[in-house]
Structure 1
């Protein structure tokens, strides 16, 4: 690349870098600074995060819910993406529209909808009892079950999109070719289609996991105060107890976990293969 082209490239990139630095890097650096200086300078906040059982319990709950949400969302997302990818083009656009529609609804609206559906007198319990599957209403609210349902419902579209992008880039003649060579449908899927869709699985997994770590509204409403995740406690520490040191230390740990996850996926799958890139 010539010097003039190099200079032109930097001239185009620098404004975006400046905006990123002002709107993202500076606030993040301030959060990091507060975690070391509030209420006293040092590593006291991080030591307390490790030593205090309450913070360990909140971290464990967050990781457990994020991992469960990721596993279920990616599995459901894979099934949905597979169906869409193998549907006729005239029907595919309607299925894709159905996947995208939840993005137009506020997370608050969706959480309140699940409160109505999952309560003891709600539609879900009424349907289960009318079918004779249960004798009494199930406890689906104010526990991890309700939070998991709400989180999975929110995250499935995020899993579908990278999976569908990868699947659409797979040559669909390969599976019939494997079948023609004597492989059965299951073997053709496991040996041909599944390995080729692996970049999409990795991309969907990391995307859903990272987003699941920061849930606030859904656990607050569906958990009823009994399921506390890191984002909730950060908000509580900043707005209620004014414990900025612990809150910013938790936020920093959450950010480091996200960075570590991105670094890990970069080692596992080249960036040019993620999200169906050619």
Structure 2
């Protein structure tokens, strides 16, 4: 066998593993969505006829969009601060970003429940300061879910934006300042456009991750606000409606793929994610 003809042997193990553990289960999920409880498109008709399905989808999209916007805003400020910090300070800032990623998502979710519940630290502090007269409902609703998801997603927003900002030549900023531009003008006309690929990469990453969130919405939503992943678990484990559950799981995969396709048509994702020249 020639050298040029045997390249496929190098990728064959990875291809088989991906087929066995990723592609095959997705195909099975797709098949179940069309065959349970009986063959047909009745499960997908629920997308247009069921108010509960439409409400879950709308709630998920709304929370994901809000989470993405807030995570990008907070992450951009943090990444900007890290990128312009001195080397020693940058290490500590970077460590502060990475540490939350090492903490279990369960621990973080229950910590927010402790902080935001009616007898929690936030409400007690606001009551003691006289800002409010009675405890606010800060958890077991959309607000609590957004808080927990933003806290989880900020590090994922920071990393691609920081990588993009680190590639910006500081001499460009110095040159703009030397030509008389104000700090705000330098940021708006030089720094922000050059950091745009990292901003877009972070938006794609955060939005896609947010679509499949399960533990954080389940704990901070208290079962009162359902997102797609929790709704799928409810249909399969509690109501044993495999057809509906797999239908929504299929739509979740389709939504993720469509998001990537749309962004790939607008931008070169290889360049955005740093895999291209």
Q: TM-score range by the shorter chain?
A: over 0.9
Distance 2:82 2:114 in 1: 30
Once the two structures are superposed, residues 44-87 of structure 1 have per-residue CA deviations (whole angstroms, 9 ceiling, x without a partner) of: 10002220101000000000000000000011111111111111
2:267 to 266, 269, 272: 269
TM-score (norm 1): 0.95
For 2:80 and 2:139, the matched residues in 1 are separated by 32
Q: Which residue of 2 aligns with 1:69?
A: 67
Q: What is the match of residue 79 of structure 2?
A: 81
What displacement does 1:40 show? 1.1
Matched, 1:163 2:161: yes
**In structure 1, how many angstroms separate the alpha carbons of the residues matched to 2:158 and 2:6?**
37
SS of equivalent to 1:7: coil
TM-score for both structures, normalised by structure 2: 0.95
SS of aligned partner of 1:79: helix
Partner of residue 57, structure 1: 55
Unmatched runs of 5 consecutive residues or more in structure 1:
none
d(CA) in 1 for partners of 2:218, 2:166: 37
Aligned residue in 2 for 1:229? 227
Instruction: Within 5 Å, give how 1:105-144 maps onto structure 2.
Output: 105-144=103-142
Per the alignment, residue 17 of structure 1 pairs with 15
Q: Secondary structure at the match of 1:141?
A: coil
Q: CA deviation at 1:268?
A: 2.2
Moved more, 175-184 or 122-131: 122-131
How many Å separate the matches in 2 of 1:191 and 1:276?
A: 23
Which residue does 2:216 correspond to in 1?
218
Query: How far, CA to CA, are the matches of 2:6 and 2:105 in structure 1?
Result: 42
SS across alignment from 2:213: coil
Q: Is the 8 A contact 1:74 1:201 kept in 2?
A: yes
Deviates more, 1:260-269 or 1:73-82: 260-269
**Is the Cα contact below 8 Å between 1:143 and 1:222 reproduced in 2?**
yes
Offset of 1:4 from its aligned partner?
Answer: 4.5
Q: Cα deviation per residue 1:129-179 (whole Å; 9 max; x = unaligned)?
A: 333332322110111111110110111111011111111111121111111
The residue that corresponds to 2:249 in the other structure is 251
Aligned to 1:33: 31
For this pair of structures, how many residues does the alignment match? 276
1:169/1:276 contact within 8 Å kept: no
State how 1:128-207 maps to structure 2 within 5 Å: 128-207=126-205
Task: Assess, with a 3 A threshold, how the Cα gap between structure 1 residues 180 and 51 changes in structure 2: closer, same or farther.
Answer: same
After TM superposition, the structure 1 stretch with the greater mean CA deviation from structure 2, 268-277 or 165-174, is 268-277
Deviates more, 1:252-261 or 1:88-97: 88-97
Inter-partner Cα distance in structure 2 for 1:170 and 1:209: 25
Match of 1:238 in 2: 236
Aligned equivalents of 1:134, 1:237: Cα separation in 2: 39
Change (3 A) 1:74 1:83: same
Distance across 2 between alignment mates of 1:83 and 1:107: 26
Shift in Å, 1:28: 0.4
